[in-house]
Amino acid sequence: MPPTPAAQHPPSSATDDPLVLVVDDDDGMREAVVDLLRSVGIESRAFGSTAELLAATVPDRPGCLILDVRLPGLGGLEFQTRLTSLGIALPIVFMTGFADVPMSVRAMKAGAADFLIKPFRDQDMLDAVEAAIARDRARRRERTASMTVEAQAATLTPREREVMAAVVKGRLNKQIAGDLGISEVTVKLHRGKVMRKMQVRSVADLVRKAEMLTLEE
């Protein structure tokens, strides 16, 4: 999804300000949702179809997607699957005029942030959007932290990686020396370098970062 050439509202200057994308083929509904979000200071951009959104350029900012289930071309649920396949984890708040329990269950199981039935209360939509934005902010923080840890780990030598793996498993310096066939003094030197490069002060912090690397793998 390249960022929106024809924005309905002027873009915010702060990259951390949320941006909500609204997709509905009903002009009146689109405008109503945009006006509702504007009333609480949330910037939004609206599209009449998922094809329009895919063709647009969307800034990389925290936010969510408000998506109608029934749309011309690629429908809401199919679009959710498309985004997942593209590795796009933007939280989705679905809305529909049809109370379809299996449909809502499918959407929620696939990771939807919420599923609202039209006509919905304004406050229900605002609550759903605020929760989705908070969820996206948390995801972005985790991604940033993960990228930082990966960059730190990339500075380790193969031997330092071996020592780190042994340390996080709870092996003592003497045991690591025996496992790797090196002196205990050498283990201490490698261990010190690992702690500095990974920017940690305790084994507990090192374990936490090692777990983040394992999750990414």
Residues 204, 107 share a domain: no
The CATH number of residue 32's host domain is 3.40.50.2300
Tokens in use for 152?
Answer: 């730190």
pLDDT, tens digit (0-9, with 9 covering 90-100), for 80-112: 999 989 888 899 999 998 777 777 888 888 889
pTM of the full structure: 0.75
Q: How many helices and strands (H and E) does the chain possess?
A: 9, 5
CA distance 116 to 125: 8
Backbone angles phi, psi at 64, to 5 degrees: -160, 175
43: β partners: 19
Q: Is the distance from CB of 98 to CB of 69 less than 8 angstroms? A: yes
Q: In total, how many domains does the chain have?
A: 2
pLDDT, tens digit (0-9, with 9 covering 90-100), for 17-58: 999 999 999 999 999 999 999 999 999 999 999 999 999 998
Query: Could you tell me if residue 151 is inside a domain?
Result: no
44: β partners: 20
Residue 76 belongs to domain spanning: 19-141
Residues 195, 108 share a domain: no
Please state, as a whole number, how many other Cβ atoms lie within 10 Å of the Cβ of residue 109: 8
The answer to whether residue 12 scores a pLDDT higher than 70 is no
116: β partners: 95
Query: Could you tell me if residue 8 is inside a domain?
Result: no
